[in-house]
Amino acid sequence: MKKLLLTIAILSCTYGFSQHGLDKDIANIEGKVIEWRRDFHQNPELSNREFKTAEKIAAHLKSLGMEVQTGIAHTGVVGILKGKKPGKVLALRADIDALPVPERADLPFKSVAKGEYNGEEVPVMHACGHDTHIAILMGVADILSKNTDKINGTIKFIFQPAEEGAPPGEEGGAKLMIKEGVLKNPDVDAIFGLHIGSGQLVNTIGYKSGGAMAAVNSFVIDVKGKQTHGSMPWGGIDPIMVSAKIIDGLQTLVSREMPLTQEAVVLSIGKITSGVRSNIIPESAQMIGTLRTLDTEMQSHIHKRMREMVSDIAKAYRAKANISIDEGYPITYNDPELTAQMASSLEKAAGKDNVNIMKAITGAEDFSFFQKEVPGLYFFLGGKAPGETEAFPHHTPDFYIDESGMLLGVKAFIQLSLDYLK
């Protein structure tokens, strides 16, 4: 008898959804998920401005009979689904904001939306796949709400605004949702999240235990020189030349002071602002940049050295400079115990051959704030069609996702949820 029960248990784990009777529900949801995704893609909204997006999400969750909370961290939406049996509380998260990027892909649901960013009118596009994340989680909510008899515990569906960062002067994102109690009442025991990838083959999943994505810090460097005529550089102090020396010096911190065989470090300057015309050496210059690290000690060291180097290089050329480094996002850290526990669920959803252990990446995610509060697992879903020769990067006008991989996201979330709560 014991052998028979063991055999049944093994078969149940092997066949995944068949044990739950959800195969048909999952197959039937794909059309809806794609329709939702296209609507969100065509109507994107910037961080902390996701008003219509939030309305659509809330309306869907309410139609499923869930307890729905709105206005969390400005535009965040949370749906609470209670299972028929007691158990733990699990959170599933999707980010909902878009980016100030013009869309070039020739799609029937191409975005032509406009928004305001830093006081300017800008084109808006879901250039990072958040539209797919919303639609996938809405599909998961749709299916699980009809199968509460299979849920041991409670599931919180968290639709989070401003993952790309709140506008200047505003709070937002995961950090503000946590501050406003999103992980409380009921208290969350664990959280799962996913990110679709334009360069990862559809119907595959990637994950990594421990540090999976980098911590990110933005920084601003202000350089003060002395203005003079462009024909007489000796009459002033050139902040543009000093800026060039600072950029060169900062890159040596990566190449000469960071143990790169241990973990990756990336330091990039994204913008330089200075001057008004060709024959005036200006008084000041400003640089903004990003730093990505995967080790907290390395992060602390490079922060210290950046502050020293910026000031000292400017002083060597008779200028003054100061640097401010923001708090940024922490490392996206997959709890090793939880990751080991849930690896088999990912394999059941995708098939063992379609699940890969990946290396850490230097992109960053504010899902990391949730992981600082409760154990979390963040995994990656393929969005590149088979045979596609070029995959355009995220945050670019040509970014494109193949929709055939979205159903696996639904499967993975459901399998993880039912297995964890079981």
Say how far apart CA 338 and CA 26 lie, in whole Å: 25
**CATH number of the CATH domain containing 116:** 3.40.630.10
* 360 in the same domain as 411: yes
| Boundary-marking domain end, from 304, 325, 346 | 325
**Within this chain, do residues 237 and 112 fall inside the same structural domain, yes or no?**
no
Residue 50 counted as domain residue: yes
Give residue 255's domain range: 215-325
pLDDT for the residue 389: 85
Question: Is residue 233 located within the same domain as residue 349?
Answer: no
HSE-up of 391 (CA within 13 Å, CB side)? 19
Judge whether 7 lies within some domain: no
Q: In whole angstroms, how far apart are CA 335 and each of 3, 105, 152, 374, 406?
A: 33, 37, 22, 9, 25
Same domain, yes or no, for 96 and 228?
A: no
- Our answer to whether residue 390 is catalytic in this structure is no
In a domain, 10, yes or no: no
Segments of the chain with pLDDT less than 50:
1-15, 17-19
Same domain (yes/no): 62, 50: yes
DSSP string, 53-119: HHHHHHHHHHHTT-EEEEEETTTEEEEEEE-SEEEEEEEEEEE---BS----S--TT----EEEETT
DSSP, collapsed to helix, strand or coil, labels residue 405 as helix
CB 73 within 8 A of CB 96: no
Cβ neighbors of 188 (< 8 A, separation 6 or more) are 89, 90, 91, 156, 373, 374
Is there a single domain that holds both residue 296 and residue 407?
A: no
Q: Which of 263, 365, 403, 420 is catalytic?
A: 403
Task: With respect to residue 56, please indicate whether it lies within any of the assigned structural domains.
Answer: yes
Q: Which among 282, 304, 300 is positioned nearest to 222, based on CA atoms?
A: 282
Q: Let me know whether 270 and 295 are in one domain.
A: yes
Q: Report yes or no on 12 lying in a domain.
A: no
Strands of the sheet with 265-274, listed across from one edge: 265-274, 284-293, 215-224, 320-325
Q: Are residues 60 and 176 in the same domain?
A: yes
Are residues 75 and 117 located together in one domain of the fold? yes
Q: Tell whether 112 and 39 lie within a shared domain.
A: yes
Provide the Cα torsion 359, 264, 383, 415; round to 10°: 50
Total number of domains in the chain: 2
Task: Name the catalytic one among 329, 333, 378, 420.
Answer: 329
Bridge-based pairing of strands 85-95 and 152-160 is parallel
What is the number of other CB atoms lying within 10 angstroms of the CB of residue 228?
Answer: 17
Q: State whether 54 and 175 are in the same domain.
A: yes
Same domain, 228 and 317: yes
Let me know if 329 is a catalytic residue: yes
